[in-house]
Amino acid sequence: MQYRGWLLAGMLSFGMMPLAQSAEVGCPAPALSRMARHTVKSGESLESIASRYNLIPATLMGLNPNVRSGKATVGQQLMIPPYNGIRVEVPSGQSLKDLAARYRVRPDVLYEVNGCQRSPKVVFVPGVNWSPNEATAPTLVGVSSVLSGSPLSGSAPIALGFGWYLPNGATKPVFHSGIDLLASLGTPAQAIGEGTVAFAGNQGAYGNLVVINHQQGYQTRYAQLARINVKVGQKIKRGTTIGTVGQTGTPTTSQPHLHFEVRSNSKLGWVAEDPIAFIRK
């Protein structure tokens, strides 16, 4: 799906770091290779810069030691991650599974976020709030109590991740506003949080679509469904089956998959966020 919102103006103007050489073909690029660079301008603050990229200030402080005082100085170069999280050096003798347990992130999500690297030395852990006190237990960014789990049970490889990509034969990049999770036709799709069904029906390129509004101004979308099991206005709980995987609408790949989005309500409308940061145990 394409999302042509406020992100378009800023993201293409910043250079991207080279992709990690150890990432497997077909996996999303490692999050740490997708950092944007931002030069602090007059009148900007750490809070305003974080807001521009839909991040929290703690994320920028964690990745940029030069602003850990809480202040950004004109001319400073800041690294901007694709979503909230922290950079972690993998301790000797530990695996991604060990880190996933420590930070309460699904191991397969941590693996995908870091480009399917087998033995990375440094990783990005999504959705965790940086703290200046390393002894403090890691805390999740505040949405964890609202959205958690996965819209598909078991392992679901990502066919297409969130962000800009260049379709085959195209000359201009388009923005993919969610993630496409591969699954067999008829696989149950489930809500990742309590909420109210705001839409349930066919919606053009989305095909059969279910939209759920959640607390704290969050919304999830489940598209390309074969069947819809809920109706507008229905109150549902986390884990409720809302439909089944299909190939309706205009999917980005010929393989059966669930197109899944997370959006947050803002003055600019429902802004798309990377769902990877919300998929947890």
Rounded CA separation 51/194 (Å): 26
The encoded tokens of residue 226 equal 């074969």
Structural domains of the chain in order of their starting residue, each with its CATH number: 7-142 (no CATH), 158-278 (2.70.70.10)
Sign of CA dihedral 65, 66, 67, 68: positive
Q: pTM of the full predicted structure?
A: 0.57
Q: pLDDT tens digits for 158-182?
A: 888 877 776 776 667 677 888 999 9
Q: How many Cα neighbours within 13 Å face the side chain of 192?
A: 27
DSSP 152: S
C-alpha 264/C-alpha 55 separation (Å) is 12
Which DSSP state fits 219? E
The torsion region of residue 52 among left (phi > 0), alpha (psi -120 to 50) and beta comes to alpha
For residue 167, how many C-alpha atoms fall within 13 Å in the half-sphere facing its CB?
A: 10
pLDDT confidence of residue 1: 43
Q: Taking the mean position of all CA atoms in its chain, how far away is CA 89? A: 21
pLDDT value of position 4: 30
Average pLDDT over residues 34-46: 93
Beta strand ranges found along 179-252 (DSSP E):
179-182, 188-190, 195-202, 208-213, 218-228, 235-236, 241-245
Highest-confidence segment of 24-38, 77-91, 224-238, 247-261 = 224-238
Q: Are 222 and 179 in contact (CB under 8 A)?
A: no
Smallest CA-to-CA distance from 251 within 169, 155, 181, 146 is with: 181
What stretches of 41-173 adopt beta strand conformation (E)? Answer: 77-80, 85-89, 122-126, 128-129, 139-140, 158-160, 163-165
Residues 209-224 have pLDDT tens digits of 999 999 988 999 999 9
Question: Residue 66 corresponds to which amino acid?
Answer: N
Distance CA 23, CA 180 (A): 19
CB atoms within 10 A of CB 198: 13
Pick from 86-90, 134-138, 147-151, 168-172: least confident: 134-138
